[in-house]
A and B are shown apart, each in its own frame.
Chain A
């Protein structure tokens, strides 16, 4: 007899298929356990910012806050004590301008290495990439004395210069790999269409590299935002210091203030890069996958 497709029990098939994919309960509980362990520090942060200093010292550290009212007070105190407004502006400047310039220079380098007929392509790449091979701390002392001589110490320009330079190698690696995956026939077509090298770079290659450029921009921005070492050494004045450097005050002269204020300051300091990540997350995720039509 012929098979009648309409008699098929689709629900039963779906249940069977689903059953095959279901993991064991044990795995689920293990996963929940690890997840809890993972978020304990965040829990500590989340409750502490809602406690006044008095409340924090009175109750056990992991106890729930009595209300959310002290938050505003914590924020203003942290903001003022750390001069966070100025520091945020500084870091935003270093982060956006420095990372943008670095990514742009890296894109130019990647274009030259992958597309132009230049001698020692790999040599140039190795030279640029060597910047990330050595520990950054190695540069600290030579940079300090060099900056001192050139009068760049404690200047916005000096900080920007350093952050831009240090952020070039990694994007170069990423963008070089991405660009070598872009079809060469595409730029040949553009050349035949009348484009010169600059047109090929600006109008063909760059628009197709927006995804990975955004991704490396975010990573480099976060690196600059989170940097404390170089900011402490090269730009330690109030006018030039970065946001992470500003957090240091809570460790030194004001160390007697409670963890509730310190944690609030830390949270404030990390908010901008989180916000930026959320704004650009679509580009970031796209940038991680080489996609070609």
Chain B
């Protein structure tokens, strides 16, 4: 059990800044997911916490103690690697026992811990197999078992599911979550997959270019993205962006593009709106609702779009449509077959519009 604090964490390779001063406060037992595109510094951050990379600047505190210069083995952290990194020449049981043997754990305690991991991860049938005789999912479980037996204060996961096929990935995702719930160990998890981030995290930390773009609960990050990058990165399919301007008419403000006008509640923007201001509006596909499919939102805003492509997903469809010069994606509940070129009316949930400054790309919403 431990809390982890990171202050001004920086990683420099040569003259290249990979991580640019990150602050994190991870309370005991939390599940924190670092998410971002490749090269955003999330893995480097994790590896600095693990002790696999030197910390160029800043401070790492585990349980209030400075851990910058502690070797990995003394930090109380255990890691699950993307490639599982099992020891190929050892059996499953020997893989699990490796760290305990090195630590000279007494045999009775060793057996207790190994048996616990075996039971938790259902590894019983594979104990005498070597890693190459296991499937991807089984190897993944052994890698997790190897971390569990150490009874660490902090679990670190480095893209642990990216080598699995889609079905297994979903299954393992649930298993990881369940395991963390049961063990209650502080967990830091790195992924580039925003669905993993949304489903696993207590707190999501979205990273970009070595910096934190936003951190918050999954809902906060999804509902109130702090900037255009976070809005585009979280959510699938991606949010739709429309370039437009703010028009003021007396007390009333509206977001205006050639295709659409959406009235705005000025209070939500804390007086940040000015007439003629260039902004980018963001609407998620589920907030653009084909007429007759799903609940009609408040307000009478709608646009017409010509369908260019349909993706059938079974329980819903994604409609790719074009209105004037803009392309957008809408989600269709209770789908029907839609032909390319068909002209549809879409209702817009105007209250769910996200507005970003066109230049700084920072969200204009204050509430």
Which residues of A are in contact with B by a Cβ distance under 8 Å?
183, 185-186, 188-195, 199, 204, 207-208, 292-293
Given contacts A188-B52, A192-B52, A193-B99, 4 further A-B contacts (CB under 8 A): A183-B83, A186-B85, A188-B79, A192-B79
Q: Which of A192, A199, A293 contacts B77 (CB 8 A)?
A: A192
Across the interface, do A186 and B73 meet the contact criterion of CB distance under 8 Å? Answer: no
Q: Number of B residues whose C-beta is below 8 Å from A? A: 27
Q: Which of A207, A208, A293 has the largest number of chain B CB atoms within 10 A?
A: A293
Report chain A residues within 8 Å CB of B84.
185
Across the interface, do A193 and B102 meet the contact criterion of CB distance under 8 Å? Answer: yes
Across the interface, do B146 and A194 meet the contact criterion of CB distance under 8 Å? Answer: no
8 nearest A-B residue pairs (beta carbon)? A293-B132, A193-B99, A185-B85, A189-B85, A194-B73, A194-B102, A207-B89, A293-B88
Interface residues of B in 160-190 (CB under 8 A from A): none
Across the interface, do A185 and B88 meet the contact criterion of CB distance under 8 Å? Answer: no
Whether A208 contacts B81 in the complex (CB less than 8 A), given A193-B73, A194-B102, comes out as: no
Across the interface, do A192 and B72 meet the contact criterion of CB distance under 8 Å? Answer: yes
Across the interface, do A190 and B78 meet the contact criterion of CB distance under 8 Å? Answer: no
Across the interface, do B77 and A193 meet the contact criterion of CB distance under 8 Å? Answer: no
| Chain A, residue nearest B134 (CB) | A293
Binding site of A, secondary structure by majority: helix, strand, loop or mixed? Answer: helix
CA distance A293 to B95 in the complex (A): 14
Q: Which of B52, B82, B131 contacts A191 (CB 8 A)?
A: B52
Whether A190 contacts B98 in the complex (CB less than 8 A), given A183-B83, A293-B88, comes out as: yes
Q: Which of B52, B71, B87, B88 contacts A292 (CB 8 A)?
A: B88
Across the interface, do A293 and B146 meet the contact criterion of CB distance under 8 Å? Answer: no
Across the interface, do A185 and B81 meet the contact criterion of CB distance under 8 Å? Answer: yes
Report chain B residues within 8 Å CB of A191.
52, 71-73
CA distance A199 to B87 in the complex (A): 13
CA distance A257 to B84 in the complex (A): 66
Across the interface, do A185 and B150 meet the contact criterion of CB distance under 8 Å? Answer: no
Across the interface, do A186 and B103 meet the contact criterion of CB distance under 8 Å? Answer: no
Across the interface, do A293 and B72 meet the contact criterion of CB distance under 8 Å? Answer: no
15 contacts between A and B (CB under 8 A): A185-B84, A186-B86, A188-B50, A189-B85, A189-B86, A189-B87, A191-B73, A192-B51, A192-B78, A193-B102, A194-B73, A195-B102, A208-B89, A293-B86, A293-B131
